[in-house]
Amino acid sequence: MPGRPPDIAAFAELLSPIDVAGQARYIYSYIHELTGNEVAAFLEQLKDDPKGRCSQYVSAFRMVGMKGFARWEKWHDLDPKKPPDGILKTNTGQKSSLDGMGVFKNVPHQSRIYHCTEPGGLIVLLTVYTGKNEDDLTADAINPALRSREEYKRRKTQLIARRPVTK
């Protein structure tokens, strides 16, 4: 029996369900402030791909949702000790952290979907990167995801702050 998805009621407008039937993890895509739901649009395009490339992601989402993990070539957390050269810097000039960041990979399609993780097993899909066929993490692949994570966190914090306190 699936576990309970995390309580996202305060910021649900920022997320769109992708695979929330898991026992271990619950996968949503982030709806960007200016560009909308980039990951969902990408997955819809893949559904029309005659080679069935969307199934690579769907099976990885299901494995991670149900078991909490998948094989390395399909999904993994990024190593915070190995940031790429040129990684985005924070407002204080420090390199952005890769803590809580991960990637779903579709090697045959040469695409990646970067995500952040939250407590309660919540995975938020942030950005898509295409054209990458090696495993080296590059700044041009991860920086958009880091920007998206910061935008998501900012908007989430604002929504939670505006939520009325109930007794």
Q: pLDDT tens-digit profile of 12-34?
A: 999 999 988 888 899 999 999 99
Residue 145 domain boundaries: 14-160
List, in order, residues 6 or more apart from 64 with CB less than 8 Å away. 22, 24, 25, 27, 70, 75, 104, 123
pLDDT at residue 89 greater than cutoff 70: yes
Structure confidence at residue 134 (pLDDT): 66
Residue 9 is assigned to a structural domain of this protein: no
Chain segment 1-12, per-residue pLDDT in tens = 356 778 999 999
CA neighbor of 115 nearest in space, from 21, 45, 42:
42
Domain harbouring 65, CATH code:
3.30.2310.20
What does pTM read for this prediction? Answer: 0.92
Amino acid 20 reads V
Q: For the chain, how many structural domains are there in total? A: 1
Q: Is residue 2 part of a domain?
A: no
In a domain, 1, yes or no: no
**Is 122 a domain residue?**
yes
